[in-house]
Amino acid sequence: MTPVEPPAAAATSVRVWDLPVRLFHWALVALLGFSWWSGDHHDMDWHRLSGYTILALVVFRIYWGVVGSRTARFAQFVRGPRAALAYLGRLGRRPYEAADGHNPIGGWSVVLLLATLVVMVTAGLFSVDVDGLESGPLADYVSFDVGRTAAGVHHFVFNVLLALVALHVLAILFYLVALRHDLISPMLHGRRKAGEVPVAERLGASPWKAAIGIVIAGGLAYAVSKGFHL
C-alpha cells in the first residue's frame, strides 16, 4: 500500500512590500533627518546633496507607483472618499482586518507625503539665501525675489512635512497599541503573518523595471543638480 504524503505546510507569512518600496521608505527617513541636521548646521553642500537624493527617491517612487509591484501602485491603494470613510467605520471592529498593502487612509497619506516632498524639493531648487551666496541649482532661472520666496516656501513646507511625519508616527503607535497590528516589521522584511491580510496574487516586482526607474530618477536628479547645464 502506497503511503499517503502529508499535505504541504501552509504558508506562515505572505509578502506585502517589495524591496524598492522598503528601501524608499527607510532611505527617506534617513535623508529627511540628515537634511534637517545639515540645514541647521548650514552645511549647504551636504544639504543640497541630500536634497538631490530625495528628489531621485521621489521620482523613483512616482514611477514605481505606476509600473511597480501590486501593493506599490497608486491604482491599488488610492481610493475615493467613500472607501476611506468605510475603512474608518471598520476600525472599531475586532479583530482588526489588515489591508493588502496600504489601507485607504494610509494610501492618501502616501499621496500627501509625496506631494509635500515635491513642493519642498522644488522650492529648494529655486531658493536663494538672503545674501544671494547660497542658491539652489535652478535659481538662475528666476529673479532674486522669487528665489527668496522659494526659500521661505522651502522652510515652511519642511515644517509641514515634520508635522506629517509626527502624525505618521502617532498612527503607527495607534495601530500597534490599540489595534495590536504591527506596521513596522513588514516594512523591514516585507512580510506579514498569513491570515492578517487577504490572500492575493504575487507582488510582481520586476527587477528590470526597477533598474530603469533608478536610471531615470538618478539621471533627472543629476541634470537638476547641474541646473540642466550638461
Query: What is the CATH T-level fold of the domain 15-198+207-225, as seen in this structure?
Result: Fumarate Reductase Cytochrome B subunit (1.20.950)
Q: Give the tens place of pLDDT for each residue, 37-88.
A: 999 998 999 999 999 999 999 999 999 999 999 999 999 999 999 999 998 8
User: What pLDDT shows up at residue 195?
Assistant: 61
In degrees, rounded to 5, the angle at the alpha carbon of residue 217 between the alpha carbons of residues 215 and 222 is 90
On the CB side of 91, how many CA atoms lie within 13 Å of its CA? Answer: 16
pTM of the model: 0.90
The ranges assigned to domains in the chain are: 15-198+207-225
Contact 20, 60 (CB under 8 A): yes
C-alpha cell of residue 212: 530603469
Rounded CA gap, 202 and 69, in Å? 9
Which cell goes with 82?
467613500
CA dist 77 and 111 (Å) reads 10
pLDDT digits (tens, 9 = 90+) for 170-217: 999 999 998 888 999 999 999 887 665 555 567 888 999 999 999 999
Q: How far is it, in rounded angstroms, from Cα 161 to Cα 41?
A: 19
For residue 135, the 8-state DSSP code is B
* Average per-residue pLDDT for the chain: 90
CB atoms within 10 A of CB 188: 12
Identify residue 26 by its one-letter amino acid code: W
Cis peptide, bond prior to residue 104, ω within 30 of zero: no
- CA angle in degrees (0–180, nearest 5) for 54-55-56: 90
CB 50 within 8 A of CB 2: no
Average pLDDT rounded to a whole number, residues 21-35: 97
77-109 pLDDT, tens digit each:
999 999 999 988 888 777 777 888 899 999 999
